[in-house]
Amino acid sequence: MLTDKDSILNDYNNQSGIYLIHNLVNGKQYVGSAINLKRRLYSYYSPSKLIDNRHISNSILKYGHDSFTISILDLVEKNDNIKVDLLNKEQYYIDLLKPALNINPTAGSSLGFKHSDETKALLAKLRT
């Protein structure tokens, strides 16, 4: 497993795969997938992306980036079924690792996710 953040961000542009974010303070983990690993992982370093109220975002904001490692669990070759292949692999790792920072146990689903009242108010304001 690769854990060097700079290498991951530099070496995985345009590569698809499954990643793990591990909180070194409390041991909680997050499993995700991305068609472009560099773009997805870079978003965890973007303040504007960390206000989305996901468990992983809240954890990064609470503990700081230095309290986390990023690992590439699996690379997935791009093909016509890349989204399905990624979700199947992501589900495998969710089932295997049972990561506490994933909102629900189903890869690619937001079932069970609830926006905070603050986010709901912001979304309502944006619609007007």
> What is the average pLDDT across 51-78?
88
Q: What is the pLDDT of residue 111?
A: 42
Going along the chain from its start, the domains and CATH numbers come out as 5-127 (3.40.1440.10)
The bridge status of strand 68-76 relative to strand 16-23 is antiparallel
Residues contacting residue 7 through CB under 8 Å, at least 6 positions apart? none
Query: What percent of the chain shows pLDDT beyond 70?
Result: 79
CA distance readout (Å), 7 to 2, 10, 89, 108, 119: 8, 5, 22, 26, 34
Burial environment of residue 48 by CB neighbours within 10 A (0 to 12, 13 to 18, 19 or more): exposed
Element (H, E) at 96: helix 82-97
Please tell me the distance from the alpha carbon of residue 44 to that of residue 28, in angstroms, as a whole number. Answer: 16
Q: What's the pLDDT tens digit per position in 69-119? A: 999 999 999 999 899 999 999 999 999 999 999 987 778 754 444 556 776
Q: What is the pLDDT of residue 23?
A: 95
Q: Locate 111 and state its tokens.
A: 């079932």
pTM, to two decimals: 0.78
